[in-house]
Structure 1
């Protein structure tokens, strides 16, 4: 039995679908929306996902409601374009994710007595086995942010046994890659060694059970907050680096004290 909230959500989704259909009308629709393609909309889809993550990081629930709506719009937008091309519909999209969720939770929706995340991974592995690409790395999206993709590639490889037994091996690899970077003097070799170093740092983060993308996002936020504080100091742009460093240290201490 559906609740009033369920009915309301369905009506809201139908309303959004109707709005997008009208916007995409080649004659009377919006001059911008009606000419978009999957390729031109894809960057907006990625951007909206990041804005959802940003609202969560800021614990801004009002913004999160807005951003989730924007992200939902992306699903409806892509689905509408696909329907126009005769490829699939929004119903197909929703049914596929419903089927997938039920298939991967047989202990909830089926007869399996055992469950949990390990069962989810087993089922995903079985699904990947049906893929012509038999590599353990198959299906890791190229469009993922580089840090996130590196971590996912490493997790996939680790399932085959290709992994350090603990964090010490990953830590040593970071120092090894840093040494190799410092020995290079030409740009292209330095570029490659920097990539290896970043990949090694991601591996260390994984072994420490730290999500590298989230950790770097937090570091970006911390840097921005501190820099905004010190740049308000009178005459900041004319200060020496040592003076700026003193301000930075003070800002670091004051922000640490406020957290404590």
Structure 2
């Protein structure tokens, strides 16, 4: 029996076979697979957050299949194949970890990180991909919160950052005031309001970064908490045999407070 990875590569090649393959797989392109890659990424994340290790195994398999699929498309176009992908990442990991794979010694983790960045810069320069800006390496397709975090972190490495928390908090307050001011303008300017909301979100991301949290993680926790509590509201409403639409907002708020109190009693949050 062939190695599992080799078998997966063979399966992929058969799926793409022009004569006997699967019609859906045959018509896929690099661009058409991207939405599926994004979806599979989030399914991996969901499994991790749920601590569902059996499902994580399955989702990681789907994730690996994405890499196999892209590599098959590249191979068909004479660009590279999956072995090239694995070979390049092996070489990169060894090259970027001289403190592990050679006798090179560094004073501390900060020195290791600085050398890592130096090696990355040299790699891009030798490949003709030298950055014109320190921000060029931040992927434009990142989710907006993550990209804001990365942009700020990149700038912070070069001294463009506040040293203390106070001005960071002040900036959040300032941006909130500007949102309120834009909302109350007569007539209101939707584009201006959106701009101010974006500035507020950017400032909040900076606050989470200074507090050493990631905005995606913080917002994920808030989303989970809201969904859990609203499902509790739904359960209380169902106990009375009525639809949510039959309740007033004040009645639903009362259910919400009951759910919050129940969580506090359980020490949930």
| TM-score when normalising by structure 1 | 0.92
In structure 2, relative to structure 1, the CA distance for the partners of 1:177 and 1:77 (3 Å cut) is same
Q: How does 1:1-260 map to 2 (within 5 A)?
A: 11-114=3-106, 116=109, 118-128=111-121, 130=125, 131-184=129-182, 185-232=188-235, 233=237, 234=240, 235=242, 236-259=244-267
Alpha-carbon distance between aligned partners in 2 of 1:122 and 1:202, rounded to the nearest angstrom: 28
Unaligned runs of 5+ in 1: 1-7
Cα RMSD, aligned residues only: 1.6
Deviations 1:164-187 (A, max 9, x none): 112221111111111111111311
**Contact 1:128 / 1:134 at 8 angstroms: preserved in 2?**
no
Alpha-carbon distance between aligned partners in 2 of 1:73 and 1:13, rounded to the nearest angstrom: 10
Moved over 6 A (4+): none
- Describe the SS at the equivalent of 1:49: helix
Cα distance, 1:29 vs. partner?
0.3
Cα distance, 1:100 vs. partner?
1.2
Deviations 1:94-149 (A, max 9, x none): 11111111111111101211264641343224423523323111211111111011
**Contact 2:96 / 2:119 at 8 angstroms: preserved in 1?**
no
**Contact 1:52 / 1:68 at 8 angstroms: preserved in 2?**
yes
- Describe the SS at the equivalent of 1:45: helix
In structure 2, relative to structure 1, the CA distance for the partners of 1:192 and 1:224 (3 Å cut) is same
The match for 1:3 is none
Paired residues in the alignment total: 252
Unaligned runs of 5+ in 2: 183-187
- Describe the SS at the equivalent of 2:116: helix
| TM-score when normalising by structure 2 | 0.89
Cα distance, 1:204 vs. partner?
0.3
